[in-house]
């Protein structure tokens, strides 16, 4: 079962979480069989869902945290729902695109991938995206790395390793 590590600070999370480039959604959209429905899993406050809403007729954005969803960015074509990624309310073979933005490492992979197979239309795209640490000058990079590894590193959940490995080692049973 997925962890809910973000409810207590949902307002701050919504305010300070990095965003995603619109070009990423444009690229993903071009790969999809249609633009009827996108499912954004682990949507948090909907930062990625709002980008999807510009390209898809409907977006189903789910998260297990009701407090995260309270901070959700409203759009007329986004339906936010408190649902685990491993069991959503979407009909079989209904999704053109399934996205997970910086959250897949919290999921039960086997159960989530079974749900993806259930809701994906033929030719649907699944995309797990994220972001890395900010990089700048060598001096600043050392400061960031020390803070990230030595100061807060001991407090990270074990699942954080998937993020640190840029999702390259995450189990992913779909064609890439």
Q: 3-class secondary structure for the chain?
A: CCCCCCCCCHHHHHHHCCCCCHHHHHHHHHHCCCCCEEEEECCCCCHHHHHHHCCCCEEEEEECCHHHHHCCCCCCCEEEEECCCCCCCCCCCCEEEEEEECCHHHCCHHHHHHHHHHHEEEEEEEEEECCCCCCCCHHHHHHHHHHHHHHCHHHCCCCHHHHHCCCCCCCCCCCC
Q: For residue range 46-86, what is the model confidence (pLDDT) as tens digits? A: 999 999 999 999 999 999 999 899 999 999 999 999 999 99
- Average per-residue pLDDT for the chain: 91
Span(s) in the chain for CATH 3.40.50.150:
10-131
CATH class of 10-131: alpha beta
């Amino acid at each position: 079962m997925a962890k809910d590590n973000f409810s207590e600070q949902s307002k701050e999370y919504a305010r300070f979480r990095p965003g995603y480039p619109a070009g990423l959604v444009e690229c993903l959209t071009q790969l999809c069989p249609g633009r009827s429905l996108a499912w954004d899993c682990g949507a948090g406050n909907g930062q990625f869902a709002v980008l999807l809403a510009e390209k898809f007729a409907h977006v189903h954005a789910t998260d297990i945290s009701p407090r995260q969803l309270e901070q959700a960015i409203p759009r007329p074509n986004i339906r936010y729902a408190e649902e685990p990624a491993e069991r959503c309310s979407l009909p079989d073979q209904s999704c053109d695109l399934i996205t997970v933005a910086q959250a897949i490492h919290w999921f039960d992979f086997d159960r989530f991938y079974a749900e993806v197979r259930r809701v994906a239309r033929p030719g649907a795209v699944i995309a797990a995206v994220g972001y890395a640490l900010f990089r700048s000058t060598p001096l600043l990079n050392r400061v960031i790395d020390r803070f990230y590894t030595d100061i807060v590193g001991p407090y990270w959940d074990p699942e954080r390793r998937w993020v640190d490995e840029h999702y390259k080692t995450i189990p992913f049973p779909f064609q890439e």
